[in-house]
């Protein structure tokens, strides 16, 4: 499938990622949206390459897509706020250890173990 040239485009640069929002035309001259994520990777020799992922969104899906995207982004902001929390963005980031799915044995430190004398076995 050969894509037509863009009718209308916007670019969002976000660190190593770039997002391209392009309005394109179908063969019937109707419009649809493509969203392309392009991510830059550096090779060991210093050269670089890009990996791209593209989605196509057609008019019949716009309302639901927009509604779900809004719902998901609103949920993330309400749960975690809009401050970026990650190792990459915060030099002093320390991941908290989640103990909700850890057994008691996994929580024991080496100091809490009892020495065993194998002569007793």
Q: Where are the domains positioned within the chain? A: 8-80
| pLDDT confidence bin for 89, thresholds 50/70/90 | low
**What span, in angstroms and rounded, lies between the C-alpha atoms of 9 and 43?**
30
- Mean pLDDT computed over 88-111: 59
**What span, in angstroms and rounded, lies between the C-alpha atoms of 71 and 67?**
6
pTM for the predicted model, two decimal places: 0.63
pLDDT-above-90 percentage for the chain: 52
Look up the CATH number of domain 8-80.
Answer: 3.10.450.700
- Kindly report, residue by residue over 30-87, the tens digit of the pLDDT: 999 999 999 988 888 989 889 999 999 999 999 999 999 999 999 999 999 988 877 6
What's the pLDDT at 6? 72
Rg (CA), the chain: 25
């Amino acid at each position: 499938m050969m894509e037509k040239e863009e009718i209308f485009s916007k670019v969002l640069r976000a660190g190593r990622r770039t997002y391209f929002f392009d309005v394109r035309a179908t063969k019937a001259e109707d419009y649809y949206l493509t969203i392309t994520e392009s991510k830059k990777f550096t090779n060991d020799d210093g050269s670089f390459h890009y990996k791209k992922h593209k989605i196509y969104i057609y008019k019949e899906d716009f309302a639901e897509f927009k509604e779900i995207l809004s719902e998901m982004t609103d949920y993330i902001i309400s749960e975690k706020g809009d401050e970026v929390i990650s190792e990459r963005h915060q030099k002093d980031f320390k991941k908290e250890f989640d103990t909700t799915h850890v057994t008691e044995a996994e929580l024991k430190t080496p100091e809490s173990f009892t020495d065993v004398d194998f002569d007793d076995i």
